[in-house]
């Protein structure tokens, strides 16, 4: 039997045992007009069921133009409800049509795999039920941050964490490594927040001052969702951060404050020894 025939038979077997529903989770990027990939556009436009969670009305208009039947998941947020309950509701809303045999696409702001609990949970849930499910990459706010601020995270290393988790777990940062803290406007808030509450930022600053000098300059950053507007990057001493003009979508960037540790000579010697041993074996 020819290879093509064997592959066709194999696909027939797979399709016979695989449920007909499927799920594709995509990201709109930050600037949806320029960041939405061709793959994501096709997946969203051709889906039987298209759902989205984006805040930008331009993104909403574009997604609903791609798929006129598209509907928002925003209504699953309710005042005072926990974020986790809202997220679990989104997962259920996404998986229901998959289980009914539909081709489903769910679009989330930014990268669908970075800080998007429902995206990961829905893909895992669909796969656990035997459905085909995958995630397509998108451009995240972190990608924009590194580009806009001309920062290479590989130079020093980088720790990226939700500001609330960083503070609650009393994570000890390495001052020689770039630190990026997400969602600084809702520190300690367990529910859906209607407006920023900066009270937690004061506690965060006090904690950071255990590791960084008060005059160490940090950056409050927010990517621009529109190509005609510049990103926001406010440079300010750590002690003055709570007095700065901040917005709800800002990320805190704490540049390295100290030089990296010197290379360990014993590691260098070990690497050279292993290299010599490998060469002697060839």
Q: Which domain holds residue 220?
A: 142-254
Q: Which residue has the higher pLDDT, 25 or 276?
A: 25
Catalytic one among 71, 83, 99, 132? 83
Instruction: State how far Cα 131 lies from the chain centre.
Output: 24
Exactly one of 6, 52, 71, 87 is catalytic; name it.
Answer: 87
Q: Is 132 annotated as catalytic? A: no
Domain assignment present for residue 7? The answer is no
What is the domain count for the chain? 2
In a domain, 34, yes or no: yes
Tens digits of residue pLDDT in 204-260? 999 999 999 999 999 999 999 887 789 999 999 999 999 999 998 999 999 999 998
CA-nearest of 131, 127, 129, 179 to 157 is 179
Are 56 and 102 in a shared domain? Answer: yes
195: DSSP letter: S
Same domain for 157 and 189?
A: yes
pLDDT value of residue 14: 41
pLDDT score, position 78: 73
Residue 46 domain flag: yes
State the angle between helix axes of 83-99 and 117-128 in degrees (0 to 180), rounded to the nearest 10.
40
pLDDT at residue 11, as a whole number:
39
Q: Which of 52, 109, 212, 221 is catalytic?
A: 109
Is 87 designated active site?
A: yes
Catalytic residue at 83?
yes
Residues 73, 31, single domain; the answer is yes
Are 134 and 207 contained in the same domain?
no
What is the model's pLDDT at position 19? Answer: 66
pTM (2 d.p.): 0.83
For residues 188 and 128, state if they share a domain: no
Check whether residue 22 and residue 62 sit in a common domain.
Answer: yes
Q: Are residues 155 and 242 in the same domain?
A: yes
Q: For the domain that residue 118 is a member of, what is the CATH number?
A: 3.40.1010.10
Does residue 155 form part of some domain? yes
């Amino acid at each position: 039997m020819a290879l093509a025939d064997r592959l066709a038979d194999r696909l027939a077997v797979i399709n016979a045992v695989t449920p007909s529903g499927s799920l594709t989770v995509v990201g709109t990027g930050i600037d949806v007009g320029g960041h939405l990939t061709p793959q994501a556009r096709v997946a969203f436009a051709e889906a039987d069921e298209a759902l989205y969670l984006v805040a930008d009305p331009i993104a909403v208009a574009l997604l609903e133009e791609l798929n006129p039947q598209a509907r928002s998941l925003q209504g699953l947020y309710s005042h005072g409800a926990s974020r986790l309950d809202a997220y679990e509701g989104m997962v259920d809303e996404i998986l229901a049509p998959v289980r009914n045999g539909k081709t489903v696409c769910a679009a989330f702001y930014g990268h669908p795999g970075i800080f998007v609990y429902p995206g990961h949970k829905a893909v895992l849930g669909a796969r656990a039920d035997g459905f085909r499910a995958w995630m397509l990459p998108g451009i995240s706010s972190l990608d924009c941050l590194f580009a806009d601020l001309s920062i290479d995270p590989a130079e020093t290393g980088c720790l990226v964490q939700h500001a609330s988790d960083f503070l609650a777990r009393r994570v000890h940062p390495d001052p020689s490594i770039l630190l990026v803290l997400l969602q600084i406007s809702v520190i300690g808030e367990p529910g859906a927040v209607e407006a920023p509450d900066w009270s937690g930022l004061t506690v965060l600053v006090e904690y950071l001052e255990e590791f960084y000098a008060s005059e160490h300059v940090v950056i409050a950053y927010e990517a621009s969702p529109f190509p005609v507007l510049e990103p926001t990057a406010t440079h300010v001493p750590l002690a003055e951060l709570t007095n700065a003009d901040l917005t709800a979508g800002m990320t805190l960037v704490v540049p390295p404050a100290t030089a990296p540790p010197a290379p360990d000579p014993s590691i260098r010697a070990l690497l050279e020894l292993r290299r010599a041993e490998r060469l002697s074996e060839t």
